[in-house]
Amino acid sequence: MMTEWFFAPRSRFYRLIPGLMLCMVLVTAGPGIFPPEAGSADSAATLSTGVIPTMGINEITEGALLFRTNQAGRFTPAPVLKTDVQIAITGTIARATVRQEFTNPSTRKGDWLEGIYVFPLPETAAVDHLRMKVGERIIEGQIKERGEAKKVYEQAKQEGKRTSLLEQERPNIFTTSVANIGPGEHITIEIEYQETVRYADEQFHFRFPMAVGQRYIPGTPVIIEGQAPTGSGTVLGTDRVPDALRITPPMQSLGQGSINPVSLSVMLNSGFPIDKVESAFHPIITIPDAEGTYHISLRADAVPADRDFQLIWHPAPRTEPIATVFTEQSNGETYAMLMLVPPTQHNEKAPRVPRDLTFLIDTSGSMAGPSIDQAKRALAAALPRLSMQDRFNIIQFNHTVRSLFAVPQPVTTTTIKQAIRYTEHLSADGGTEVLPALRQALRSPEDKSRLQQIILLTDGQVGNEDELFEVLHQRVGNRRLFTIGIGSTPNGHLMRKAAEFGRGTFTYIGKVDEVERKLEGLFKKLERPVLGDITLNQAGWSGLEQYPAKITDLYEGEPIVLALKAHSLPLQAMLHGQAGGHSWSHPISLNHAAAQGGLSVYWARQKISSLMDEAYKGGPDEATKRSVLDVALAHHLVSQYTSLVAVDITPARPVDMPGSEQGQPTHLASGQDLGALPKTAVGWQLQILLGLSALMLAAWLWGLQKDAA
C-alpha cells in the first residue's frame, strides 16, 4: 500500500471551534470572540460522549478547551495527548526523537476529528524527520515549501486520508496538525531534531522545553471581515503580532489533570570523564555503563508538561583549557564544529575597565510571583558589585517605562541607596512592553573609553520579537546586551537571539535558590572579559563558510563555538583576539579531529539562522527566502518557509462525512497564574465598558425572567 510525506510553505491555518470561542469569552478579560449561532453552517461537529465525563460552561473555573457533545449545554475535555522523548547525546551534539499520541475520544461512528497541538522545542533545534504511525503502518514525511505542503495536507484532509503537518511558527514554537482521526483511534506522530549542547559556568547544559509560556501580545486586534481567524490560539492577531492565534495555545492548569504526560530518557556519551550528572527540576535515575555512557531516565514513569527538563553534567576537574574539533564529510564537503573553552581560573589581577551598566527589569503581570522575586534578588545582588569607576541606571517596564535616572549616574553611597529603595518597591502588573524600555536604554551616548553593558531581566513572554531584533541591529552599536531569563519557561529564542545581536550572553535562572550562584558567575564575566575582537584566520581554508560570521566576546565559562563548511581544511586553525589591550592568538589542530555525525545539519541550521537575521538588517525578503529554501530543502530541515507533511494515500474517512478540527491545550507553565496571564494591549476603558455591558445584559435578562414569572 503506497504512502507519501511532503514538506511545504505556509498558507492559512485553522478556524477556532465554537466551544473554544465560547469558553474564552467567559474566562478571559480581553476582547471577546463570539461563537456562531447554534445550528449555523460554521458550527463544529458534536461528539458522542459515551462514558467520557462532560461538564457545563458554568463549571469552568479556569481556561480550558472543550468539544461540543450531543447533549445540549454539555462539553467534553480535549483528548489526552501522550509524549515520549528519547535523547542521545554524543560529545556536543544532541539527537532527540519525540513521539506524540493523538486520540479521538468519541465513540460515535461519524466523529472524524482533526487535532492541532502547539509545542515548544529548543530555539536552536534543527528538525529534519517526521513519521506518522497508524496501527502497524509507518508513513515517512517529506520536506517541501511551506505553501505546497499545506496544500497537500488540505487536499488529503478533504479526501478523507490520514495526514499530518509539522510547521514552524517561531524558531522555538512548532505546531503539529493531524487530520481524520477516526472514533476511538490513536495516531502517533514522531519527529526528530538535533541541537548543540551548551557549555557555561564550567558545566554542560541540555534543555528540553516542555511548555509554551503564555505570551503578551501587544498591538490592536485586527479582524478582517469575511475571513476566518488564521489559527487555533486564544488571542486575536494584532497589527504588531499578526500570527498571535498561532502562538497562543489554550492553557490548562495542573488542577484539571495531566493533559500531556511526558516520559523521557537520555543516553549521554560526553567523550571525556564526567564528575557529576544532575537534573535541575526533575528527579532522575542515572546509571553509567562500562564504556562510560550514562543511561538516564525520569524517576517517575511520566511527568506533567509544566516546566522544562534540564540536564547538567560537570567535567572532571582540569587545569588546562578544553579545545575540541569535530568533523564530518558529507556530499563532497567538509563540515566542522570548533569549540574553545576558556581557562577555569579567574584572573583577579586583570585590570578592570570603567563601565556603564543599565539594568532593564521586567515588572509586567507575567512576572508576578516567584519571577519578580527572583528578578529583585538578581538586581540586589548586582548593585554591591559596582565600583566607584562605574556608572549605572535602572529601568523598569510593563505597560509603561520608568527610569531611576535620566542617564547612568556615578556609583556613590547616595545613588546606591536610591537604587536599593527603588528595587525593594518593584511589583509586577500590566503588559510586557520591552521595546520602549530597550529604546530608552539605547538613548545613552556611546563612550568608547568605557564598557557599556545592558542587562535585561525578563521572562521574555512577548510575541513581537522581530521588532526588538530590528532595534538591536540598528542601534546597539558597540554596547553589549546580556539577557537573564527568569521563571520556569522563559522565551529562549528571544533571550538568546537578543544576546547574540548584542554580542553578550544569555543566563537562565529557573529557581530562586539559583539566583545568587548564577549571577555571581555572570557579574564576574561582565567585570573582566577574557577576549574581544576575536577572528578566525582563514589562511589555508578553501571555500570557507563560517557561522556566526562575527564572533562574540569570550567570557569566563563561555566557549567559542563555530560551525564551518569548506572544500578542504588546513592542518591547523588559528584564532586571534585582544586580551587586556594586548594581541592574543591560539592554534588549534585539525589534523586529528574526531569524526561526528550531524555536523552538516548543525551548520545548515546556523546558516538559516544567519539568513533570517538579514530581515532585521533590511535585506531583500525574496532573496532571503530563496536562500533559506535552498539550504532547508537540501538538508531536509523545517524552517519558516518549509514544512514536513505525511499522507497515508489510502482514504480512511468517507469523503461525504465532514470532519471537525480541535485545538490541543497545553499545560500552564509552572509559576504562572491563569488569572494573571498577559492580555492583548487593550485599554482599561474598553475593559470597563465590556464589563458594564455584560452587567446590563444580565440585569435585562433577569428582568425578563421576573416579568414572565
pLDDT in the model for residue 50 = 41
The confidence band for 473, taking pLDDT boundaries of 50, 70 and 90, is confident
Flag the least confident range among 42-51, 231-240, 315-324.
42-51
The confidence band for 393, taking pLDDT boundaries of 50, 70 and 90, is very high
Q: What are the tens digits of pLDDT across the range 599-610? A: 899 899 999 988
pLDDT in the model for residue 698 = 53
Flag the least confident range among 165-174, 415-424, 600-609, 653-662.
653-662
**Is the model's pLDDT at 302 over the cut of 60?**
yes
Q: What is the 3-state secondary structure (H, E, C) of 385-407?
A: HCCCCCEEEEEEECCCEEECCCC
Flag the least confident range among 34-43, 46-55, 131-140, 517-526.
34-43
> In 85-212, where does DSSP find H-type helix?
146-158
The confidence band for 580, taking pLDDT boundaries of 50, 70 and 90, is low
**Is the model's pLDDT at 17 over the cut of 50?**
no
Nine-digit cell string for 228: 476566518
3-state DSSP helix/strand/coil percent for the chain, to nearest 5? 25, 35, 40
Q: Which amino acid is at 621?
A: D
pLDDT in the model for residue 71 = 65
CATH number of 355-404+429-521: 3.40.50.410
pLDDT in the model for residue 111 = 79
CA 575 from chain centre, in angstroms, equals 32
**Is the model's pLDDT at 455 over the cut of 90?**
yes
Query: Are 82 and 303 in contact, with CB atoms under 8 Å apart?
Result: no
The whole-angstrom separation of Cα 674 and Cα 668 is: 8
The confidence band for 167, taking pLDDT boundaries of 50, 70 and 90, is confident
Rg for the chain (alpha carbons), in Å? 26
Residue of higher predicted confidence among 281 and 60: 281
pLDDT in the model for residue 47 = 42
Residue of higher predicted confidence among 621 and 332: 332
The confidence band for 444, taking pLDDT boundaries of 50, 70 and 90, is confident
pLDDT in the model for residue 8 = 38
Nearest to 125 by CA among 176, 202, 191, 188: 191
The confidence band for 413, taking pLDDT boundaries of 50, 70 and 90, is very high
Please state the length of the chain: 709
Mean pLDDT of 119-144: 80
Residue of higher predicted confidence among 140 and 411: 411
pTM to 2 decimal places: 0.63
Flag the least confident range among 240-254, 540-554, 692-706.
692-706
pLDDT in the model for residue 2 = 39
The confidence band for 373, taking pLDDT boundaries of 50, 70 and 90, is confident
Nine-digit cell string for 594: 574526531
Mapped onto helix, strand or coil, the DSSP state of residue 25 is helix
> Between the ranges 46-50, 440-444, 495-499, where is the mean pLDDT highest?
440-444
pLDDT in the model for residue 509 = 79
> Between the ranges 5-9, 170-174, 212-216, 656-660, where is the mean pLDDT highest?
170-174
Helices (H) and strands (E) in the chain, counts: 11, 39
Instruction: For 599, list phi and psi in degrees, rounded to 5.
Output: -70, -30
Nearest to 517 by CA among 202, 287, 289: 202
**Is the model's pLDDT at 158 over the cut of 60?**
yes
pLDDT in the model for residue 581 = 66
pLDDT in the model for residue 686 = 41
Flag the least confident range among 217-221, 235-239, 279-283, 684-688.
684-688
The confidence band for 408, taking pLDDT boundaries of 50, 70 and 90, is very high
Strand partners of residue 575: 536, 586
Nine-digit cell string for 326: 569535530
> Angle, nearest 10°, between helix axes 465-475 and 434-441?
10
**Is the model's pLDDT at 657 over the cut of 90?**
no
The residues, any chain, with a CB within 8 Å of residue 615's CB and separated by 6 or more, are 466, 621, 624
**Is the model's pLDDT at 560 over the cut of 60?**
yes
**Is the model's pLDDT at 646 over the cut of 50?**
yes
- State the residue for C-alpha cell 462532560: 54
Mean pLDDT of 530-544: 85
Q: What's 221's DSSP letter?
A: B
pLDDT in the model for residue 214 = 53
pLDDT in the model for residue 36 = 30
The chain-wide mean pLDDT, for the chain, equals 74
**Is the model's pLDDT at 423 over the cut of 80?**
yes
**Is the model's pLDDT at 446 over the cut of 80?**
yes
Q: What are the tens digits of pLDDT across the range 202-234? A: 788 888 876 544 555 677 877 777 666 665 565
pLDDT in the model for residue 659 = 60
